[in-house]
Chains A and B, each alone.
Chain A
Amino acid sequence: MQMPPADPAILEQRQSLIAALGDIVGLDHVLADETSMRTYESDGLSAYRQMPMLVVLPATTAEVSAVMRLCGERGVKLVPRGAGTSLSGGALPLADGVTLGLSRLNRILEIDYANRCAVVQPGVANLAVSEAVEAAGFYYAPDPSSQIVCSVGGNVAENSGGVHCLKYGLTTNNLLGIEMVMIDGEIVRFGGRQFDAPGYDMLGVVTGSEGMLGIITEVTVRLLPKPPVARALLAGFPSNESGGACVAEIIGNGIIPAGLEMMDRPAIHAAEDFCHAGYPLDAEAILICELDGPAVEVDALIEQVSELANACGATSLKVSTTEDERQKFWLGRKSAFPAAARIAPDYYVMDGTIPRRRLSEVLRRISEMSKEYDLPVANVFHAGDGNLHPLILYDANNPGELEKVEELGAKILTLCVEVGGVLTGEHGVGVEKRDLMPTMFTEDDIKQQQRVKCAFDPDHLLNPGKVFPTLHRCAELGQMHVHHGELPWPDIPRF
């Protein structure tokens, strides 16, 4: 993975930067020695590592602003970092960059029940928001599996999803406003506590921009009343085809479940060995379907889904009758990653989305590729929205194996694009899928996105080297080919 080359002139400033940053946040919060910076060397994509030049940990918006103004003026690159759980290398440091950690901005500032929203700092953990409002009967819907640790700021930057996003949406659908600091230190607000904002949808475009447009220092999230009841159904199927057909049937019958997850045989076995969730080991695929809402609704729909599952040839079927049982159904799915970690020294998580109708074909081709590369692949699948997570199992200690894994991963994602899908459903492009962007986008498509980057960060100082395979100078991107009035009136029907 090629990152922008380190600038020796910046590296030379290291000592003076330490002092200047220390003046802003206090020297205790500038990490400069190898031991304390080690934690920041990589994120959830641990295959990529890079020591940052420095780490700075501001505690307030004003400090973030002062740090950014300093770095902006000196031309020093900044890499924002939340909890460091990104699976695409979004928070991977730069050798000549300052990693700006938001862990000290960790307070819930206000819970506004009257407007059904909460105002939190970016370093607050995702789950902490739901926990803070639970007693009042509310929750924050987006629930990435990393929710115990991942930060709300990181969720906004990655536009994270979760198992409930089929019904409740991704992060972007659950935000009302943000406060953000621009690269020159200017503090701006997009949105508020109302349902829309005037002008261009800045909140929308910043969400999912992977820390490249500004640093988010405050987030206003929507709160939803907790559904009174949730029940889950666990069905085993004799093939991926029949499992996939059942998903299409459920949705085709007008049911949007709170969660609709599928796992294939290798994933079922890994999960079952790991946590004994009671998954049917003879099944080729299982579906976990969760319904939530008023009890009468959940009971009626779970009955209907059971019938559909049977009609699709389910070989086993269990419906949760207690909360414990429901949690147990989920346990296996939620521990799919650690389960994979137990059967192989390392695993690599992919994250493509496909049109669901192509599921069985895609799974078949993945299994062919898995044989060809001699690398086992287990699949967990947010089946409702077509978001596939193949887990490639490998051993990084075997020389050359990581490279093989990356190649297989790239082939899987390219396949997703080929069948009409996309490179990433929720984990982001980061550095990981950066060089695959041209499989989905033309050069002009990518340049148009880069012009958005230029409007926010004209010198490419914020998290450069992520998302875009080639860096273009903003001046070059802004140029337009003009004919100076030589063009005739176009030859198009006119009235």
Chain B
Amino acid sequence: MADTLQPRDQDDLLEAMTWAADKGSPLEIVGSGSKRSLGRTMQCSATLDLRAFAGIEEYEAAELVLTAGAATPLAEIEIALAEAGQMLAFEPMDTGALLGVEMSGTLGGLLACNLSGPRRIRAGAARDHFLGFSAVSGRAERFKAGGKVVKNVTGYDLCKLLAGSHGTLAALCEVSLKVLPRPEKTRTVLVFGLSEERAVEAMGAALSSSNEPSGAAFLPAKLAAHSGVDYVSGAGSSVTAMRVEGVDVSVDARCQALRELLGAFGETEELHSSRSLKFWREIRDVVPFAGDDRVVWRISVPPAAGGALARKLIDAQPCELFMDWGGGLLWVAMSTGGDGDDGGGAALHKAAAAAGGHASCVRASAALRGHIDVFQPMSPALDGLTRRLKDGFDPAGILNPGRMYAGI
């Protein structure tokens, strides 16, 4: 019985949760369903559709705070913010292209996945902008945490715990986020023809300078060739890109300074407004791997380790990859397939751990996601703590059970 429950309000939600907790009936939590294929494959007896919890409730630009229903479409949020000259500074990825769905998702969904784009290196992740929420836990209790102001340390920071919990702790009803002014101008400095290792050095030099890059990414020649941005596709070589944003005169000055700094690494070029915007949207949304069905992983490592890890992965197995976050984030598409294997999982988890980081699978068939470790396996201590936390929010194990780890 794969029923869909669609609560109209918090009372309905409470009732649904009470019922599910009592019956021990697992629920799949969805906002718009755009990210259903993220995480491990689950066996749920019903879907809990939270679409009713939508709409912007409070937004006053000068307060830098926006409060909205958790199922408010991201697109709606972005329009409202743009009208006020603001943005979600963590630059959430639109997973639509990569996952092959026509939806960009909801606010609650992106928080539950802690999605953060290229600007993460400068502005922080989704979790850093998540100020407060109200929710219903798997205990069928309403609770809230945090607040609706940008600075708050009252009580434990449960927002952090909920961000990236993939719907396994509570169903979010209302969320408050910190919002920030949109930069007046954006430009990107390109450096051509660098190897993975050199690119990470170049990005490191830029990020260690006072030129405040708000994006630092690397595309190998083959992926650069498919970019929708002419200067990138026409490069005929790898492209290392550093974005500069902010006040008009400052962007000019910092671009200039960056080109001088990066000239030592290779030939440089500049992307102006619309090209720059387009380029970073491609990076943000992992467009280089959109439109096919290869297994895609994201690997998060200390930035300086990114170049060497990239080289090691390319040498070890047929795959394509590009880097974001100055080398701290690798997007890897595996060229081998077949249901018999693990999509490269074991090898990538091992390589990521050796480099001081972790790997997670963001795109794979439901069958594959049913039997591999989608997220980096945890140490016994962390595993125990994770289970105890889950137990505190959802003792009956009814909320997205198994989406992150078996039994959680």
Contacts and interface: CB of A to CB of B under 8 A. Distances in A.
Interface of A: 112-116, 137-138, 158-159, 161, 165-166, 169-170, 172-173, 182, 186, 188, 192-205, 207-209, 225-228, 248, 251-252, 254-256, 293-294, 296-297, 300-301, 353-357, 382, 385-387, 420-429, 433, 437, 440-442, 444-449, 451-456, 467, 477-478, 480, 482-495
Contact of B155 (A294, A437, A484): A437
Given A192-B356, A301-B247, A482 B385 contact: no
A382 B388 contact: no
Nearest to A416: B149
Main secondary structure of the interface of A (DSSP, over half): loop
Contacts of B254: 294
A490 B15 contact: yes
Given A353-B147, A448-B143, A487-B18, A495 B3 contact: yes
Nearest to A483: B22
B104 interface: no
Contacts of A172: 128, 157, 160
B247 A452 contact: no
B240 interface: no
Contacts of A386: 63, 149-151
B304 A205 contact: no
A493 B8 contact: yes
B62 A454 contact: no
A455 B389 contact: yes
- Which of A227, A254, A301, A487: most chain B Cβ within 10 A? A254
Contacts of A173: 124, 128
B69 interface: no
A27 to B, nearest CB: 31
Contacts, number: 300
Contacts of A228: 210
Given A172-B128, A227-B210, A480 B396 contact: yes
Contact of B4 (A423, A452, A495): A495
Interface residues of B, number: 106
B157 A487 contact: no
B21 A480 contact: yes
A366 to B, nearest CB: 17
Contact of A207 (B149, B157, B212, B303): B157
Interface in B248-282: 248-250, 252-254, 257
B180 A423 contact: no
Contacts of A445: 143-145, 155
B16 interface: yes
B391 interface: yes
A356 B63 contact: yes
A355 B304 contact: no
B63 A357 contact: yes
A484 B24 CA distance: 10
A451 B249 contact: no
Interface in B205-238: 207-212
B151 A387 contact: yes
Contacts of B376: 198-199
A437 B64 CA distance: 25
B142 to A, nearest CB: 6
A492 B63 contact: no
20 contacts: A113-B208, A195-B121, A202-B382, A203-B160, A204-B127, A204-B157, A205-B160, A297-B250, A356-B62, A424-B153, A425-B153, A441-B144, A441-B155, A445-B145, A448-B393, A449-B158, A454-B388, A455-B392, A456-B385, A482-B21
A442 B404 CA distance: 30
A188 B152 contact: no
Contact of A194 (B60, B182, B328): B328
Nearest to A453: B156
A425 B151 contact: yes
A448 B329 contact: no
A207 B181 CA distance: 27
A196 B125 contact: yes
Given A254-B181, A296-B253, A442 B143 contact: yes
A445 B155 CA distance: 10
Interface in B134-188: 137, 139, 141-145, 147-161, 163-165, 169, 180-182, 184
Contacts of A495: 3-4, 6, 49
A492 B16 contact: yes
Given A255-B181, A296-B253, A490-B19, A205 B158 contact: yes
B385 A208 contact: no
Interface in B353-408: 356-358, 360, 375-376, 378-379, 381-382, 385-386, 388-389, 391-393, 395-396, 404-405
Nearest to B377: A198
A483 B204 CA distance: 58
Chain B's interface: helix, strand, loop or mixed, by majority? mixed
A477 B391 CA distance: 11
Contacts of B8: 492-493
Contacts of A493: 5-8
B97 interface: no
Given A201-B161, A492-B8, 7 more contacts: A196-B125, A251-B181, A294-B250, A300-B250, A385-B151, A444-B141, A456-B388
A354 B247 CA distance: 29
B304 to A, nearest CB: 4
B54 interface: no
Contacts of B128: 169, 172-173
A455 B182 CA distance: 40
A488 B121 CA distance: 50
Nearest to A174: B124
Task: From B23, B325, B360, B396, name the one whose CB has the most chain A CB atoms within 10 angstroms.
Answer: B23
B114 interface: yes
A464 to B, nearest CB: 15
A137 B149 contact: no
B356 A193 contact: yes
B12 interface: yes
B149 A421 contact: yes
Interface in B50-86: 60-65, 85
B38 to A, nearest CB: 14
Contact of A192 (B5, B64, B247, B302): B302
Contact of B156 (A209, A440, A488): A209
A200 B388 contact: no
A447 to B, nearest CB: 8
B301 interface: yes
A138 B329 CA distance: 23
Contacts of B60: 355, 357
